[in-house]
Structure 1
Amino acid sequence: MGKNWGTFCLITGIFPPDIGGPATYVSRFASSLHEQGYEVHVVTLGDEAQSLPFSVYRIARALPLPIRLLLLFATLLRVGWKADVWYINGLEVPAVLAGLLLRKRLVMKIVGDYAWERAMNLGLTTDSIDGFQHTRQCRQVEWHKWLRGWYTRRVSTVITPSRYLKSLVQGWGVPENRVQVIYNAVEELPPNLLSRQEIRQRFGFSEDDKFVITVGRLVKWKGIAQLIEVVASLDESVKLLILGDGPEKNMLTELATQRDVAGRIIFGGKAERSFTLSAIRAADVFVLNTGYEGFSHVLLEAMQVGTPIITTNVCGNPELVAHNQNGILIPVGDIEALHSALQRIFSQPSSCQALISGGRESIERLTWERLLAQTLPILTY
């Protein structure tokens, strides 16, 4: 294994009590390292202090951007100089610059293409994620594409949670032997999840209602507008719960009103993990109608709590979901296919049970112990 690395600096933009995949992942990974006797320091953004067995250094998000970046850079230099390896899960530019200055070994986890996401949110591109990689964009977007490739090529190893993302990263100029695929792991279910009945009562759904749920940031590529259109075409007993927030919320709310289904669609906003899992478990079907997904953690969670899945056959989704085995895959943007898949879920209970069983078998292989065993050798090499 080489040198016995003993000190780690973990860098992330979000960390508990923040909600989100990177926050959950880094928190658990830091705890696992500490339990194995490693010294751990976390550098992140945020304001709320927590009592943890390892050090967490937070830079307040409320600070003006120049001051925030300056303090972040200074904290990385002060905290990171004594670490043997830096594991970057966000804040990539300041982390790479500070790490290079201190000549540290840098490992980075890439879970998506921030340049494409930013361009989509700003309305600067209409290209799909794959077309975006090879199509000339405006100067502002090309700058972010260059920056993304620059900092990714400066680290010793890149970890991605899917083969699809590995192919993207290789397209940014990173050699194949420096990109390692490690699939995400399922977390243990929190205790005392709310029951199906409690969730349905909270949202005013009856036991006879057909309960559809989707979870995610409300952005264009999540396909939530199409999901609303499909729900509007189905029987009035079909209800939709949308958990998440984002720039598309006002447009989606107006669409629900225009389609006269505002009473059947609930925008639940952001929710903490325990409530989200309770809501997914109470639903009849989980839908992720996305046009882009590196490797969806919420699909794992839907399998874990035993809710049938409908999702698109794009990006990293087919690496987790096998059509008709542990979920239903549909072509992206195909409203008729989404309509048919929902009708199938509602009308074929035996088919649903087969999908649920297949999902639970799939996640048995995606354990935290496996993830840790695959990640530690990369960090300590």
Structure 2
Amino acid sequence: MVQREIRMKIILATGIYPPAIGGPATYSKKLADRLTRSSHDVIVVTYGNKVETEKWKVENVLLGLPILRWWKYSKKLKEVGKNADVVYAFSSISCGIPIILSRLRCKRILRLGGDFFWERYTAMGGKKGLREWYRSSRWQLAVSSWLLNKFDHVVFSTDFQQQIYKDAYKNLPKNSVIENALALDQVVPMEQHFLKKQLRLLFVGRFVNFKNIPLLIEAVAQIPDAYLTLVGSGPQDDALRKQTERLELTTRVQFVAPLRGKEKFEIFGKHDLLVIPSLTDISPNTALEARSVGLPALLTEETGLSEHLRSGIVIADLSTPQKITEEINRIREGYNFVSEAASKKIEGRSWEEVSKDTEDLFATICV
């Protein structure tokens, strides 16, 4: 058992931080809170406007052209990172490069919840999932390998992504898995869903290419009595609205701005099925949030979701509109069985557990 009584100076390097919305923003703030409670000296470095300082320091770097902002970020790291024990980065590029430029002499740890180069590939129209893309990439692997090996340790959020990297990189740094927190407090009551006359489908997430939302809209066009709510925002927003108009689905596809907290959980209760047809979805927390209140989910087979969390979630090949349509109709036919499975309680994972695992890792590496 690792002794965690050591007081450390910890730099959390993130690209975004609340009030910005996103995984790294939530993660860095929650982790900063728990690490501070454990008497560690925590400093968060982030891009964006100045934010109100809490029990820990939050240092901001204004956005600008990539090279300029990386240099400014590296200067901020030098400024606050003197005598630091560890710097924990939440992005391989926007935080990783400044860490390299800063030449901080502390231990460097990189947390990967996504994949920068693959996401850029999909943003440019690429259609391969993460696993398939890694089998065909070459120069990106060389660049990524150089970057990864500037860190002492890499933390993955899933076994799924860790295994892909182990297969792809011959000289991957020491690595481990620290699963994300899964806060499943009952914001609204858990209940079994029953089909109404109309089929109410839901998507919640960022409007980006790898989420494959256009295929879902095309599938809805093939199911005359299906209605779809798209909750989120992102660079694909205009294209999705134009697609909806082109397919004459404006009365059956509704767009809703991003929701948080109770409002997000309440919208789960107004729908019959959450559909996530991503090319790859490494950590599909939205599917688990839906499950926590009894909403069945249909999820891409290219996922990092752990086996013990898959009950009540249908995993399938959703690579074409036809396959999405077939799976939705199949779930519809056996809906009572699927919704009963989705109404059974699943175990969450607290931020205290995440913080403990992280502290143990830091203490081990910094010894």
For Structure 1 versus Structure 2, the TM-score category normalised by the shorter chain is 0.7 to 0.9
1:256-306 residue CA offsets vs partner (Å, 9 max, x unmatched): 122211111112243345433332343221111111122222222222232
Amino acid at match of 2:247: R
Q: Are residues 102 and 318 of structure 1, via their aligned partners in 2, closer, same or farther at CA, if it must alter by over 3 Å?
A: closer
Give the distance between the partners of 2:276 and 2:128, measured in 1 at CA.
20
Residue 265 of structure 1 pairs with residue 253 of structure 2: yes
Of the three residues 182, 193, 202, the one matched with 1:186 is: 182
- Partner of 2:87, secondary structure, is strand
Match of 1:115?
117
Cα distance change, pair 354–377 in 1 and its aligned pair in 2 (3 A): same
Structure 2 equivalent of residue 210 of structure 1: 199
C-alpha displacement of 1:328:
0.7
**Of the candidates 128, 146, 153, which is equivalent to residue 149 of structure 2?**
153
Question: What amino acid is aligned across from residue 228 of structure 2 in structure 1?
Answer: L
Letter of the aligned partner of 2:238 in structure 1?
N
Alignment partner, residue 202 of structure 1: none
Structure 1: 5+ residue stretches without partners: 197-206
The answer for the alignment partner of 2:100 in structure 1 is: 97
Whether the 8 Å contact between 1:219 and 1:248 is mirrored in structure 2 is yes
**Contact 2:71–2:98 (CA under 8 A) maintained in structure 1:** no
State the 1:348 CA deviation: 4.3
Query: Residues 65, 223 of structure 1: CA spacing in aligned structure 2 closer, same or farther, 3 A cutoff?
Result: closer
CA contact (8 A) 1:96 1:151 kept: no
Identical-residue share of aligned pairs (%)? 22
Deviation at 1:53, TM superposition (A): 1.0
Distance 1:340 1:321 in 2: 24
Deviation at residue 48 of structure 1 after TM alignment: 4.6
Aligned-residue offset at 1:109 = 0.6
Local SS of the residue matching 2:251: coil
Q: When the two structures are superposed, what TM-score results if normalisation uses the length of structure 2?
A: 0.87
In structure 1, how many angstroms separate the alpha carbons of the residues matched to 2:11 and 2:47? 14
Distance 2:54 2:184 in 1: 19
CA offset at residue 106 of structure 1? Answer: 0.9
Partner Cα distance (2:287, 2:156) in 1: 17
Query: Which amino acid in structure 2 is aligned with residue 160 of structure 1?
Result: F
Q: For the Cα contact (< 8 Å) 1:21–1:297, is it kept in 2?
A: no
1:283-294 → structure 2 map (5 Å cutoff): 283-294=271-282
**CA distance in 2: counterparts of 1:136 and 1:352, whole angstroms:** 38
Cα root mean square deviation, aligned: 2.8
Worse-superposed segment, 24-33 or 266-275: 266-275
Tell me if structure 2 keeps the 8 A contact 1:19–1:273.
Answer: no
Q: Cα deviations across residues 232-268 of structure 1 (Å, max 9, x unaligned)?
A: 12233x2211122233223222221222111111122
Q: After superposition, what is the alpha-carbon deviation per residue over 1:336-365, rounded to whole angstroms, capped at 9, x for unaligned? A: 44224323444545324323234x32xx15
Letter in 2 for 1:379: F
Q: Aligned pair count?
A: 356
For 1:294 and 1:304, locate their aligned partners in 2 and report how far apart those are by CA, in whole Å.
19
Distance of 1:343 and 1:58 partners within structure 2: 49
CA distance in structure 2 between the aligned counterparts of 1:369 and 1:103, rounded to whole angstroms: 28
Question: In the alignment, which residue of structure 2 is the partner of 1:377?
Answer: 360
Alignment of 1:1-381 (within 5 A): 1=2, 4-61=6-63, 63-90=64-91, 91-98=94-101, 101-123=103-125, 125-136=126-137, 142=139, 144-170=140-166, 171-175=168-172, 178-187=174-183, 189=185, 209-236=198-225, 238-317=226-305, 319=307, 322=310, 325-358=311-344, 360-361=345-346, 364-381=347-364
Q: Which structure has more helix as a fraction of its residues?
A: 1
Question: Retained in 1: the 8 A contact 2:145–2:172?
Answer: no
Structure 2 distance, partners of 1:110, 1:157, is: 11
What is the alpha-carbon distance in structure 1 between the residues aligned to residue 37 and residue 357 of structure 2?
Answer: 17
d(CA) in 2 for partners of 1:173, 1:16? 37
Do the aligned residues in 2 keep the contact of 1:88 with 1:95 (CA within 8 Å)?
no
SS in 1 for 2:343: helix
Report the CA distance shift for 1:376/1:281 in structure 2 as closer, same or farther (over 3 A): farther
| Residues 63-72 or 161-170, more deviating | 63-72
Secondary structure of the corresponding residue to residue 287 of structure 2:
helix
- Preserved contact between residue 312 and residue 330 of structure 1 (Cα < 8 Å): yes
**Greater CA deviation, 67-76 or 245-254?**
245-254
Q: Tell me by how many angstroms 1:89 deviates.
A: 0.7
Displacement after TM superposition at 1:66 (Å)? 4.3
Does structure 2 retain, via aligned residues, the 8 Å contact 1:163–1:316? Answer: yes
Alpha-carbon deviations, 1:197-238, whole Å to 9, x = none? xxxxxxxxxx854321112222222121111112112233x2
- Structure 1 CA distance, aligned partners of 2:306 and 2:42? 35
1:130-173 Cα distance to aligned partner (Å, 9 max, x none) = 23223256xxxx3x543322221221211111111102332234
